[in-house]
Amino acid sequence: MALLDPIERQERGASKQASLLAQAEREPETLVQASWRDYIFAEIWTRPGLDLRSRYLIAMSSAANESDRDAVLGYARGALSNQELTLPELREAALHVSVYSGWTYGALLDDAITQAAQALGLSSEAWPPIRENPWDPDQRHDEGGASFRYHMKFGSPPPRTAYFEGGILNFVFGEMWNRPGLDQRSRRWLTLVGVANSSAHTPIHSHIWSAMASGNATVDELYEFVLQYAVHAGWPRASFVQGVVMQQADRIAKGLSYTD
């Protein structure tokens, strides 16, 4: 087997880093900066198992969850500059991150998107309101339940608590998941980052299962998700998510639900 050239890796990483973040190439000044160039951008971002659009969504939401404003800004700028995501799509992404990671982190992402758009000279675009027309509360409950079952591929919770009724059924699945500005696959990556960061057993297991059951992601793509997620979340958290992916992939293959 031929030996790999470290200089070639450095050059590839520098080029990818500059292109993906839409910034001029910079010579690393520290070991950590060199690891971003030589490993993260040269080896992770260049892996063929997951498209760039998905990697941007995973990266920017992961960075937002760690309050890394500089990284979020770079990813947002790169996604817009490389036309992997549009400004309206990123606005929808910020709302989705608000739900699954908290409005504090959604606002951080939203602010970075604004800065990136301004840096690139992009004009603000009108966004569809949360809800434009009058609605019947009972109908919204029903629509939320149907949307939950469609996206999650199992039964919706009963509206017995404020969280289930006012949160899950009314807004998350009654409104947000149904907004047309961002596709379901993209929403799935943002959701997975949020639930992975939560360390909450049921959301992690159910959403990873649903990602495969819905056809939004293959098991191999989820393996790539785990590695991309690890960049900002760290290897220990990613290790747990990796185990759940393997477990739920086995359940999917056997035709089982996400839990016994």
Pick from 40, 68, 58: nearest CA to 196: 58
How distant, in Å, are the alpha carbons of 43, 74, 204, 217 from that of 242? 19, 27, 11, 14
Residue type at position 191: T
- What is the pLDDT, as a whole number, of residue 1? 86
Whole-angstrom Cα Rg for the chain: 19
- What is the pLDDT, as a whole number, of residue 260? 73
- What is the pLDDT, as a whole number, of residue 162? 96
For 51, what's the count of Cα atoms within 13 Å in the CB-facing half-sphere? 13
> How far is Cα 42 from Cα 49, in angstroms, rounded to an integer?
15
- What is the pLDDT, as a whole number, of residue 125? 80
Query: Which residue spans of the chain are classified as CATH 1.20.1290.10?
Result: 26-124+182-253
- What is the pLDDT, as a whole number, of residue 127? 85
List, as one string, the DSSP characters of 40-56.
Answer: IIIIITT-TTS-HHHHH
Measured CA angle at 36 (ends 88, 225), to 5 deg? 55
- Residue whose pair of structure tokens reads 């992975």 in the numeric block: 196
So what CATH class is 26-124+182-253?
A: mainly alpha
Per-residue pLDDT of the chain in tens (260 residues, 90 and over written 9): 889 999 999 999 999 999 999 999 889 999 999 999 999 999 999 999 999 999 999 999 999 999 999 999 999 999 999 999 999 999 999 999 999 999 999 999 999 999 999 999 999 888 889 888 898 988 999 999 999 999 999 999 988 999 999 999 999 999 999 999 999 999 999 999 999 999 999 999 999 999 999 999 999 999 999 999 999 999 999 999 999 999 999 999 999 999 87
Instruction: Show Cβ contacts of residue 120 under 8 Å, excluding neighbours closer than 6 positions.
Output: 22, 77, 80, 81
pTM (predicted TM-score):
0.97
